[in-house]
Amino acid sequence: MTIRLDDVSFAYPDGSLAVDRVNLAVAAGERVAIIGQNGAGKTTTVKLMNGLLRPTTGRVLVDDVDTASQTTATTARQVAYVFQNPDDQIFGTDVRSELEYIPRHDRWSAERTNERVRRAVKMTGIGKYLDLNPNDLPFAIKKFVAIAAMLVGEPRYVILDEPTAGLDGRGLALLKRLIGQLEDEGTAVVTITHDMRFVADTFDRVVVMAQRQVIADAPATEIFDDDDVLARARLQRPVGAQLAQDLGLAPASLQLDDVVALIP
């Protein structure tokens, strides 16, 4: 199972390009971070993946099905998109009803609904908030409510837009554990983020975008060791990678403790 973008471009009505001839594939169970400056094409690329946008040229295939041949809703069931701002997608009067929206819409059995809701609640740690209005919750908790609502739908791919924004250390730890669980279950996770430390700590594969194109697609250790790619994308190394660079080391890990351990 794979999401594949084949020579995909997307143009605005005035003809200006948001992405230009992007080729990219994401397989089941992968963790992929897409990084780059604002305007590089990251958000457009992931919206093409889940059908929110249709390519102007090229094809987007989800499990070998062209997204142009099915409704946006159908594609979005397979490729869940969690927005940067949870207020853009939360509308339930309480957290429980928010999580039960997809089951109600698709007329699931009570047994299946309860099973999927319990699982999503456990993965996201929101059990004590089920009877509360999500609008009354802290921003970080709302982010996990939005993630849980998408997980209930059993997507094969999950897109997280700037998921670390507003999270404290505890929230980050929960997010990393959640991504690991999804990987173990064969669910792919695609993240767009400006948080290079999160990328270094959590993702093995990194896609770099600049000037509306993919300019690099490689393991995180290679990306953060490549001066040319970082300069073209105007990105800074995370602390561990920068320390390794300053010391002339080629770390097998980007974790700061691992880099320190390499110092003679």
Residue 106 CB: number of other CB atoms within 10 A? 11
For residue 235, CA distances in Å to 29, 31, 39, 42, 131 come to: 27, 20, 13, 14, 42
Question: Which fold would CATH assign to domain 2-87+156-261?
Answer: Rossmann fold (3.40.50)
Higher pLDDT, 252 or 28: 28
Confidence label for 225 from pLDDT (cuts 50, 70 and 90): confident
> Any idea which residue has 């393991």 for tokens?
219
* pTM confidence score: 0.90
Residue ranges covered by each domain of the chain: 2-87+156-261
For residue 118, CA distances in Å to 37, 158, 171 come to: 37, 18, 19
- Is the model's pLDDT at 260 over the cut of 60? no
Between CA 239 and CA 203, with CA 140 as vertex, the angle to 5 degrees is 40
> Any idea which residue has 């730890």 for tokens?
173
pLDDT tens figures, 53-75: 999 999 999 999 999 999 999 99
Structure confidence at residue 79 (pLDDT): 97
